[in-house]
Structure formats: structure tokens, C-alpha cells
Homo-oligomer: A and B are copies of this chain.
Amino acid sequence: MRISKNDLRLCLVTDENMYRDDEHLCRIVLSAIAGGATMVQLREKKADTRSMTRKGALLKEILPQGVPLIINDRVDVALAVNADGVHLGQSDMPVAYARKLLGKNKIIGLSVETKEHALEANTLPIDYIGLSPVFSTATKQDIATPLGLPGIKEITGISQHPSLGIGGITLSNVAAVIRAGADGVAVVSYLMQAPDSRNAAKSMKYAIEEAFS
């Protein structure tokens, strides 16, 4: 197993518009982990490769043992900084190429937006699926129709992979997402923009654990 369901409980996803500089990024990431975030995805949509590589290397350095670092889209950056894996969207590198480049020890997550994507994902050498988006969100623009809770239930019912809900997840809806079948959630704004990311992660982690119990 390259990743456990416990690793997927609460994934912090970064957003370059939600921090000021490297130091601020590191502070938010470490606070969220102190509050209970179980993995970190570096997602930079506009940054150039040099700054993405720098940030990846920085996060790799500061992340505690046992908290996987996942790089969005960029297999080269993941390899360069020796991250734990990548998260791929449907417009990113096809999984077969990515698996070949990353080898069998790295994590690959794949966003699925439809039932058809989920069925295809069952045939692919990936480690988890991202259910994307669960709800509508201001963070990502170019996205598919929200799956909603019925969509989560349907897709987790047919998927053979562990799953992570992403998109519009907050403290008030996280329990419902877990109860609909997700193994965890990936969160951008609720953690990145919280006045106190540690507290925000702590409350969310508690709600997730409650929903499982």
C-alpha cells in the first residue's frame, strides 16, 4: 500500500492566491498539520516551474514523517523534489505515462468527475480518486458539474479505490460527505483562509472522525 485510508482523511490543498510568500505558506501548512491534516497537496496553477520546484522542495523539507506530499499535475516537480506522489486531473498527464515515470512506489491520485471516469479509474494503476467537485466552489473555475452527495454515494459505490471529496467542503458539510461514502476530504479555502488553520483543521478532523464513528 502506497497510501492508507487514514492518510486520506484530511488533505490540505494549497492555493497560490491564499498566501503571501513561502514563509506564510509553510506556516499555514504546519498549522493545518498540527491541527490534524493528514496529507498536503501542492497545487499551483499559475506559478512557473522554478517557483513550484522551490515550494515543493521546501514543503518536502518541513513536512513531518508520515504526512505525504502530493504535487498537483507536475510529475517532473514531484520527481525533482522527491515528493510522495502526484494528483492528476482528467486534463493532466495520462496515468499510464505518469506511473511509468514515477515507478511503483509513488502515490497517484486521479480526479473523477463522472461515473464513467470512476469506472475507467478502476482499470488504472492509481492509489485514490478525487471526487471532484463535491459542491460548487469559487476556488476552481474550469470545473465540471458538482457531484453532490448522491454523486458521491454513487461513485464511491462503484469505485475500487479509496476516495477523497474535493470542492466546497466546510465544517458544516464535511460529515455528510464522509457519510455519503468518501474516505476523506481535500480542502482549500476553509483551511488556507482560516484565521487559525490549526483550529480549523482540528474542528474539521473532529467532524470527520465523528462521521466515521
Contact = CB atoms under 8 A, between A and B. Distances in A.
A49 B80 contact: no
A48 interface: yes
Given A48-B91, A49-B92, A101 B80 contact: yes
A25 interface: no
A74 interface: yes
Interface string A143-183: 00000000000000000000000000000000000000000
Contacts of A50: 90-94
A53 B100 CA distance: 14
Interface in A39-95: 48-51, 53, 73-77, 79-80, 90-94
Interface of A: 48-51, 53, 73-77, 79-80, 90-94, 97-98, 100-101
How many copies of the chain does the oligomer comprise? Answer: 2
Contacts of A97: 53, 80
A80 to B, nearest CB: 4
Nearest to A90: B50
Contact of A101 (B51, B76, B90, B91): B76
Given A49-B93, A80-B93, 18 more contacts: A48-B92, A49-B73, A49-B91, A50-B90, A50-B91, A50-B94, A51-B91, A53-B93, A53-B94, A53-B97, A75-B80, A76-B76, A76-B79, A76-B93, A76-B98, A77-B93, A80-B98, A80-B101
Q: Which 4 A-B pairs have the closest CB atoms?
A: A76-B76, A75-B76, A48-B91, A80-B97
Contacts of A77: 93
Contacts of A51: 91
A97 B75 CA distance: 13
A192 B91 CA distance: 26
